[in-house]
Amino acid sequence: MNSYAKPLPQPDIDTQPFWDACKGHELRAQRCNACAEFRWPPQAFCPECYAWDFAWTKLSGTGRVDSFVVVHYAAVAPFQPELPYVIAHIAIDGTNERVRLVSNVIDCPWQEVRVGMPVGVVFDDVTAEVTLAKFRPL
Ligand SMILES: [Zn+2]
């Protein structure tokens, strides 16, 4: 029985490899084998050159806060104990700013989160099957 009360990701054919990588404590994204640009979100073909071929490429695991919100009210009960918390867009280093993950900034008072703040990935094994990628200040 899963005791994790928050909503869990629902991987599909395009996103399953991302979640599999997280379970192995790695960040990966699709990288086009034709033009070498990263793709995000995961998708069937490259938005730059329309090539289909790609490789799931390991990412640095570091990035910076590109934008963020501080959540002070949780409409879903399981999030209430963590209020206030930060939801951020994280631009991942080395991806030409193409990979921007929506995640949490943790281990940092919300008042100290800033746009441009350098962060590093932390893997949170929330269930036996699911690992979430979150970020903390570097
Ligand atoms: Zn391409």
Which of these, 106, 99, 110, lies nearest to 120 by C-alpha position?
106
**What does the pLDDT read at residue 76?**
87
* Number of neighbouring beta carbons within 10 Å of residue 125: 12
**What does the pLDDT read at residue 115?**
98
Give CA separation, 138 vs 35, 61, 62, 78, 122, in Å.
31, 11, 8, 28, 11
132 C-alpha to ligand 1 centroid (Å)? 27
CA-to-CA distance for 8 and 126, rounded, in angstroms? 9
**What does the pLDDT read at residue 75?**
87
User: What are the mean pLDDT values of the chain's consecutive 10-residue runs (138 residues total)?
Assistant: 84 96 98 97 95 97 98 92 96 95 97 98 96 98
**What does the pLDDT read at residue 47?**
93
58 C-alpha to ligand 1 centroid (Å)? 17
